Structures are given as structure tokens and as C-alpha cells.
């Protein structure tokens, strides 16, 4: 009989479409296989340890291909620029670059003021780092440059080391600004060194310790810090510089105290500029579908405010502070001051981590949206070189701006060519047009900063969403926010990271423990408290933890296991030992009594010899000889008897009937086998190994055999390396699945020989 032809792809698809509704309703499968413990599984699958690759050998390999790969890895522009599609992408990058530059001009001036520096250094920080990132960066859409959070972190350092109160007859404002510029540039070099070093040693994973709730809570608190720092420019007040814990609270209190001293002209200027910016942003949101480019509201506001300030002489007539002198041209490179490294190392590391976290999180969002990959280690190197080289040219630390990145992506930007175009536009302003903004009021820059904080301040709504989604993440968000508000940015970040890591430890210490039951007619086991149809297998307890077992929760695991089993294991073991000890004491007492009786019998026989006067001399002598032999035997016999009794006691101890719970009159557990589902374990340590061994020992004391199930291969390897398996705990106690272990336990109600040549049917 000929076999039918195999169905083709079309036939298979037709069959699937015809019977899809039936198959989705019910799809049964039947499997019959041998019952598998770990030994049989290794034989069946020919298990062998995976050979370890030594990565350092690859790193130290020297060849032309290796050198070429390293060059392309650390200088990505050599990879994508030769393949750049000019006709398809150049126009979009040109429009995006001009749009970003229009935003970068006012933000650079404003964020330099936020960092406590003259505004022109914000323009420098918008040129050098952007061009360096064009060469080394891997993200195609983020806009590198000045950012509010980074600027306020720099400002807290500059104002703490060179406060405004230091101004007097001997220290002029120009000298203070020069010291602050040197401090900020040195800080940028140190930040760059940290980032480059961490990137070269592949330490990009450090950002994984900054969870999304932590970053969002931190940036929200930083935006509050930025908002408060701009109040002195909005109201035209002279405030004392503060840093450290509670500095934000003291600043707010001082602003409230000095409100009667505010300059009305400055407040009006800031209010008008803020309203104009908000109106233009609203127009952009409503007309974005109809406009080829967004309205450059910030640039128009700056130009209009500068013209009004110059025409109405706001500085002298209304006491409105203006930007002042903006030197045209670029400044020569300046070496950093190594004497400041010791003072700045802690702040530099915090700024390096925060700047990288913001850049890589935003870069990964765009990469996921547009289908390319961002290398976190190379991003560290790129940001590091941007800050390192920028610091030499008197820039302050920079990162990625959220608002500019969104504009660059939405305006049609495809690569960092848009960033290079924006940096060239900023260069033109620095060289030729910067001095035109000397009459720009600082209140307008403050209003620009505050209006741009809208996106970060709106992150407060995370509290409502996290309350519904995940209370633990909400706790991280709140602790980060409160710590950053009260303790300042550097200490707040440290507290947030430590708290989030401790919360992870606490959550692993308190996992969900469950006793599993079998779903009817399946090999699936689920928590009996969650699934009403799940039934415990008679005589078998299946226990599972939702987290790995290690030193921090091993004791909790053992306690939860004994509690969920419904048997006071420790009490039962204690009672058993007490009864066995009493039995031994009773045997010893009985032995002592027998010894005393034997002595009494011996003494009574001796006296009877002398009282028998009718006996002949020969009989007496013969009796004396026999009695002496008997005494000799009796002198040796008690010691032998003690040894024999002790030996018999040991034999009784070895006899299972003597130490059985039923023989001792103790209650027996209602299950004969315990199965530990270890599928959640990702690793084991020495404390976990000892805890598992103690579980085997304790439950065997109460006549319950213990089995392990569903271990992953790395865990099995760690069990072998930790010498967990021995003569009493072998791989025959470890099964491939929970159902294998349950099937075996049902066929071996009490501990005995293990021969898994059985068949399990699913």
C-alpha cells in the first residue's frame, strides 16, 4: 500500500485554517517515557559541561582584523558615514540640525546660568561635546549638550566652593567667575575620565542599577531643584549660596522672606516671557500637523526680549539684570587643575553616572523605535570623550537633552549629522552673533528654563500609575524623590541606589512560598491556594519558592517549608530523641540491676561452700576449684555483659523498628515524601547547600524522604562543585520534573531502594 504524499505548505495552511477553531478549544497530547532522574537524564541526553571560553584571550589577541574591529568599535563614524544615503537623509538631518540649534542657543545660555557660570560657556558646551559625540556616539537621534539636571548638579558644586558671599573688595565678580569656570572645566575632565575608564572596562552595565522609577524620581526631584534655583532670577533677589542637606528648604524659606525686596521689572519680564513661551508651545502642539517645522518660540522670545531690553534700557530704568558681556570667538584650551580632583571626585562620579543613565535610557528608546542597536559601553566612551575634550576647552559636563532629542527625531533627523550641523550653527553664533545677546535679561533665560521643566515636573503623575501597577516601584520613586529634595543631588542619588538594592534583597528574603497540587489529568502543579481545582497528591508534599535560595533567605526558606508542611518537625525530632534517650537510660539501668543480681548470686554461692560441714575434704577441695573457676568467669562476665548490651543497644538503634515513630508512640506525618521544586533557583551558595542538606537530614528523621526536582544545569553544576551529592544524597534524588518526582514517590511510599526504571504517563 503506497504512502500518501506529504502535505505541502499550502495544504498544511488550509488544514490549519479549517481546524483552527477546533484546535484552539482542545488540543490533547499523550507522552509515554521513562521516569527520569538526573542520572538517567544525563545518560539519555549525553550531558557534558559547557567548555568555558576565556574572554581575556580574545581581548589580548593581536591581529589586523582585531585592530580593525577595535577601530570600528570605538570610532563608529567610520562605519556609518561612508554608507550615508545623502539623497534620502541629508535634507531631514539638515532641518533637524537647524531646529535643534535654534533650541540649543537659548538653552545653552540659560543652563550656563543654572550652572553658576557666564552664559557664553553654555554656548561652548553646546559646540565641542556635540561634535565629539558625532564621531564616537552610537545613537542616531539623541541630542547631546547642556541639560538642566546636569547643570544644576554642576551649579551645586560651583556655588558651594565659590559662593556669592565671597564677593568683596578683594574678590571681584570676574575673578569669581574665572574660578568657577576653572572648577567646572576640571569637573568636566574628571567626569570624562570616569566615563571613558568605565566604558573601556565594559562597565556599561552599571546603569542597570538605576531602575526607571529611580531615574524618573531623581529627574523629577532635580527639576524641583532647578525650579527653585531659578527663583532668584525671576524675582531679582540676591540669595546666599547653600549646598548640602536641606539646602533646598532653606533656599525656599529665604525666597519667601525676601519677597518684599523683589524687583517688579524683573518679575514682569519673566512673566511676559513665560506666557509667550507657553502660548507658542501650545500653538506648536495644535498646529504641528500643518507646519513643516515647529515655531522656534524660544529663539523668537530671546530675540524679542533682547530687542525690547536694548530699546527700553531695562537694565538702568527698571533694574533688570542682563547677560552682560559675551566675548566673540573661541577660547584657547586650558589644562585642568589637578589640585581640585580630590574635592571633586565624589561629585564627578555621581554626575558621570547620572549623565550616562539619562543618555542611554533615551538612546535605547529611540533605538527600539527605529530598529537599531545602541552599545552602552561605547556610549560611555563617547560621553566621556565629549566631557573630557570639552573640559579642556572650558566646557562644563553635558549629557543628553530630552526636549532637543524629541525635536531632532520628530523633525526628520536620521543620524548624528544633524548634531554636527547644529554644532556648526552654534559655532557661527559664538564667532559672529553671540555679542548681540548682551542685553538679554536673565529673567527671560530663567523663564525659558522653567517652561522647559514641564515634561519632567509632569512625572509627578507617576505616583498614581505606580500605586496601581507596583507599590515597590512607587516606594523607590518616593524615597528617591524625597532623598534628593532633602539631601541634595549627590547624596540623594547614593541613598536612592542603596535603597533600591536593599529593597531587592528584602524582596528576595520574602518571596511567595507555596504548596503545589496537581491539576486534574495533567502533569502541571500549581499553588493549591490559588487554583481551586489543584489537589495535593496523597502522601506527597510539593513545595516551591518564587525566588532563588541564598544566604539572605535560606533560613526563611527552611522555616516556611516546615510551617507549610503542617508538621512541627523540630518538636517531633526533639521528642523522638528524648524517647530514644530514655530507652537507652532504661537499658543502662536494667544492665546495672542485672550486674548487681549476678554479684549477689556469686556471694551467696561462696557462703554455701563454708556452711556445708558434712562434705568431705575432697569434695570441699573439688568444690573450691569449681567455685574459683566460676568466680573467675564471674569476674570477667560483667564487663563482657556490658559490652554485649551496648552492642545489642547499637543493633537496636540500627533496627528500624526500634526508632520508628509508630514504635515510639509518636504521631506520623500524613505524607511520606517531600518534593522541593527548585525551578526558581538561578544559583546556589554554600549556605543554600547546607540548608538543603539539613532539610534532608531533618525530614529523614521523621521518616519522610526528600526529592529535588526541576533544577537547571548551572545549578546542578554548582551542586556538584559544592560536594552536595554523597552516598546518602545522590543524583537519583534529583528528577527532571515535579511530575517525575511525584510518580516515583507514589511508587516508593517509604524510603527504600531507588530504581527509576519506571514509566510515567502524561
Average pLDDT over residues 249-263: 93
Q: Which residue has the cell 530523641?
A: 577
Residues 676 and 718 reside in one and the same domain = yes
Rounded to the nearest integer, the mean pLDDT of the chain is 83
- Whether residue 536 has pLDDT greater than 80: yes
Domain-embedded: residue 616? no
With a CB cutoff of 8 Å and minimum separation 6, the contacts of 234 are 266, 267, 270, 443, 446, 447, 450
* Cβ–Cβ < 8 Å for 252, 229: no
Task: Give the number of other Cβ atoms within 10 Å of residue 593's Cβ.
Answer: 10
* Cell numbers representing residue 58 in the block: 580574545
User: Which residue is listed with cell 514517590?
Assistant: 745
Task: Copy the grid coordinates of residue 92.
Answer: 531631514
pLDDT at 219: 85
Give domain status of residue 88, yes or no. yes
Evaluate whether residue 621 is within a structural domain.
no
Same domain, 347 and 487: yes
Has residue 617 been placed in a domain? no
Of the listed ranges 21-35, 177-191, 199-213, 324-338, the one predicted with least confidence: 21-35
pLDDT of residue 493 exceeding 80, the answer is: yes
Q: What is the pLDDT of residue 256?
A: 94
What pLDDT, on a 0 to 100 scale, did the predictor assign at position 618?
A: 45
Domain annotation covers residue 64: no
**Does 519 lie in the same domain as 502?**
no
Q: Which of the listed residues 473, 506, 539 is the one where a domain comes to its end? A: 506
Shared domain for 414 and 556, answered yes or no, is: no
Both 548 and 502 in one domain: the answer is: no
pLDDT of 393 over the 90 cut:
yes
At residue 640, the pLDDT reads 44
∠ CA 75-80-86, nearest 5°, is: 140
Least confident range of 203-207, 418-422, 534-538, 756-760: 756-760
pTM summary value: 0.76
pLDDT tens per residue, range 622-669: 444 444 444 444 443 434 433 443 344 444 444 556 678 888 888 889
In a domain, 54, yes or no: no
pLDDT of res. 55? 59
Banded pLDDT at 4 (limits 50, 70, 90):
very low
16 confidence band (pLDDT: 50, 70, 90): very low
Do 295 and 228 belong to one domain? Answer: yes
Choose the final residue of a domain: 489, 506, 523: 506
Instruction: Let me know whether 195 and 306 are in one domain.
Output: yes
Domain identity same for 245 and 347: yes
Domain that holds residue 520: 512-581+661-748
Number of domains the chain contains? 2
Are 145 and 125 within 8 A, CB to CB? yes
Confidence of residue 25 (pLDDT cuts 50, 70, 90): low
Task: Please check the confidence at residue 284 and state whether its pLDDT lies above 60.
Answer: yes
Residue 50's pLDDT band, with cuts at 50, 70 and 90, is low
> CATH number for the domain including 686?
3.30.750.24
Residue where one domain finishes, among candidates 482, 506, 530: 506
Cell 553654555 belongs to residue: 122
Q: Are residues 470 and 532 in the same domain?
A: no
Residue 106 has pLDDT above 90, yes or no: no
**pLDDT for res 1:** 37
* 194, 391 contact by CB (below 8 A): no
Say if CB 707 and CB 741 are below 8 A apart: yes
Pairing of strands 759-761, 143-145: unpaired
**Claim to verify: residue 517 and residue 435 sit in the same structural domain:** no
What is the C-alpha to C-alpha distance for residues 575 and 577, in angstroms, rounded to an integer?
Answer: 5
In a domain, 648, yes or no: no
In a domain, 135, yes or no: yes
Whether residue 442 sits in one domain with residue 553: no
Q: Are residues 311 and 415 in the same domain?
A: yes
Q: Which of 388-397, 541-550, 680-689, 749-758 has the lowest mean pLDDT?
A: 749-758
Amino acid at each position: 500500500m503506497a504512502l500518501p504524499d506529504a502535505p505541502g505548505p499550502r495544504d498544511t495552511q488550509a488544514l490549519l485554517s479549517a481546524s483552527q477553531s477546533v484546535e484552539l478549544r482542545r488540543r490533547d497530547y499523550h507522552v509515554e517515557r521513562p521516569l527520569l532522574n538526573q542520572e538517567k537524564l544525563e545518560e539519555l541526553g549525553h550531558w557534558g559541561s559547557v567548555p568555558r571560553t576565556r574572554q581575556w584571550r580574545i581581548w589580548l589577541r593581536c591581529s589586523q582584523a582585531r585592530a580593525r574591529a577595535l577601530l570600528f568599535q570605538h570610532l563608529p563614524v567610520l562605519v556609518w558615514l561612508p554608507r550615508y544615503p545623502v539623497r534620502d537623509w541629508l535634507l531631514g538631518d539638515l532641518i533637524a540640525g537647524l531646529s535643534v540649534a535654534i533650541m540649543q542657543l537659548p538653552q545653552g545660555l540659560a543652563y550656563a546660568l543654572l550652572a553658576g557660570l557666564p552664559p557664553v560657556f553654555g554656548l561652548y558646551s553646546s559646540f565641542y561635546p556635540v561634535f565629539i559625540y558625532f564621531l564616537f556616539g552610537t545613537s542616531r537621534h539623541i541630542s547631546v549638550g547642556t541639560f538642566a539636571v546636569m547643570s544644576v548638579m554642576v551649579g551645586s558644586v560651583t556655588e558651594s566652593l565659590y559662593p556669592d558671599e565671597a564677593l568683596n573688595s578683594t574678590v571681584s565678580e570676574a575673578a569669581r567667575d574665572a574660578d568657577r569656570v576653572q572648577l567646572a572645566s576640571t569637573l568636566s575632565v574628571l567626569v570624562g575620565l570616569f566615563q571613558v575608564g568605565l566604558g573601556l572596562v565594559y562597565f556599561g552595565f552599571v546603569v542597570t542599577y538605576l531602575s526607571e522609577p529611580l531615574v524618573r524620581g531623581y529627574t523629577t526631584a532635580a527639576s524641583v531643584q532647578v525650579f527653585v534655583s531659578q527663583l532668584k532670577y525671576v524675582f531679582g533677589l540676591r540669595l546666599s549660596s547653600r549646598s548640602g542637606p536641606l539646602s533646598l528648604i532653606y533656599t525656599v524659606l529665604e525666597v519667601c522672606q525676601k519677597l518684599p525686596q523683589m524687583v517688579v521689572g524683573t518679575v514682569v519680564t519673566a512673566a511676559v516671557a513665560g506666557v509667550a513661551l507657553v502660548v507658542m508651545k501650545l500653538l506648536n502642539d495644535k498646529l504641528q500637523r500643518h507646519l513643516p517645522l515647529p515655531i522656534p518660540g524660544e529663539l523668537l522670545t530671546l530675540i524679542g526680549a533682547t530687542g525690547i531690553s536694548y530699546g527700553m534700557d531695562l537694565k538702568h530704568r527698571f533694574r533688570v539684570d542682563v547677560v552682560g558681556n559675551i566675548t566673540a570667538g573661541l577660547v584657547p584650551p586650558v589644562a585642568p587643575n589637578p589640585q581640585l580632583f580630590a574635592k571633586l571626585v565624589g561629585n564627578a562620579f555621581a554626575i558621570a553616572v547620572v549623565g550616562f543613565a539619562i543618555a542611554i535610557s533615551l538612546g535605547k528608546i529611540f533605538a527600539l523605535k527605529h530598529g537599531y542597536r545602541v552599545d552602552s559601553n561605547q556610549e560611555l566612551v563617547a560621553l566621556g570623550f565629549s566631557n573630557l575634550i570639552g573640559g579642556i576647552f572650558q566646557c562644563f559636563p553635558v549629557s543628553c537633552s530630552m526636549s532637543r532629542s524629541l525635536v531632532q527625531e520628530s523633525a526628520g533627523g536620521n543620524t548624528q549629522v544633524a548634531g554636527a550641523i547644529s554644532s556648526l550653527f552654534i559655532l557661527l553664533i559664538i564667532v559672529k552673533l553671540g555679542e548681540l545677546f548682551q542685553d538679554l535679561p536673565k529673567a527671560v533665560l530663567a523663564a525659558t528654563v522653567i517652561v522647559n521643566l514641564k515634561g519632567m515636573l509632569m512625572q509627578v503623575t507617576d505616583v498614581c500609575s505606580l500605586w496601581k501597577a507596583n507599590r515597590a516601584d512607587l516606594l523607590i520613586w518616593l524615597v528617591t524623590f524625597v532623598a534628593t529634595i532633602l539631601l541634595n543631588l549627590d547624596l540623594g542619588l547614593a541613598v536612592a541606589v542603596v535603597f533600591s538594592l536593599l529593597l531587592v534583597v528584602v524582596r528576595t528574603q520574602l518571596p511567595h512560598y507555596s504548596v503545589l497540587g496537581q491539576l486534574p489529568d495533567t502533569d502541571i502543579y500549581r499553588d493549591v491556594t490559588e487554583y481551586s481545582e489543584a489537589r495535593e497528591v496523597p502522601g506527597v508534599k510539593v513545595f516551591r519558592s518564587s525566588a532563588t535560595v541564598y544566604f539572605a533567605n535560606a533560613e526563611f526558606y527552611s522555616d516556611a517549608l516546615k510551617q507549610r508542611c503542617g508538621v512541627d518537625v523540630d518538636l517531633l525530632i526533639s521528642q523522638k530523641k528524648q524517647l530514644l534517650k530514655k530507652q537507652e537510660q532504661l537499658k543502662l539501668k536494667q544492665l546495672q540491676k542485672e550486674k548487681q543480681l549476678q554479684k549477689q548470686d556469686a556471694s551467696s554461692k561462696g557462703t554455701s561452700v563454708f556452711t556445708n560441714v558434712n562434705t568431705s575434704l575432697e569434695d570441699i577441695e573439688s568444690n573450691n576449684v569449681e567455685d574459683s573457676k566460676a568466680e573467675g568467669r564471674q569476674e570477667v562476665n560483667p564487663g563482657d555483659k556490658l559490652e554485649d548490651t551496648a552492642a545489642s543497644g547499637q543493633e537496636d538503634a540500627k533496627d528500624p523498628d526500634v526508632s520508628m515513630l509508630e514504635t515510639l508512640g509518636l504521631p506520623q506525618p500524613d505524607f511520606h515524601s517531600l518534593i522541593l521544586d527548585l525551578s526558581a533557583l538561578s544559583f546556589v551558595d554554600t549556605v543554600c547547600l547546607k540548608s538543603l542538606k539539613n532539610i534532608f537530614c531533618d525530614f529523614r528523621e521523621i521518616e519522610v524522604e526528600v526529592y529535588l526536582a526541576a533544577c537547571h544545569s548551572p545549578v546542578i553544576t554548582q551542586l556538584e562543585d559544592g560536594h552536595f551529592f554523597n552516598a546518602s544524597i545522590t543524583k537519583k534524588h534529583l528528577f527532571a520534573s515535579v511530575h517525575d518526582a511525584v510518580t516515583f514517590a507514589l511508587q516508593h511510599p517509604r524510603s527504600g531502594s531507588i530504581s527509576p526504571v519506571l514509566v510515567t504517563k502524561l
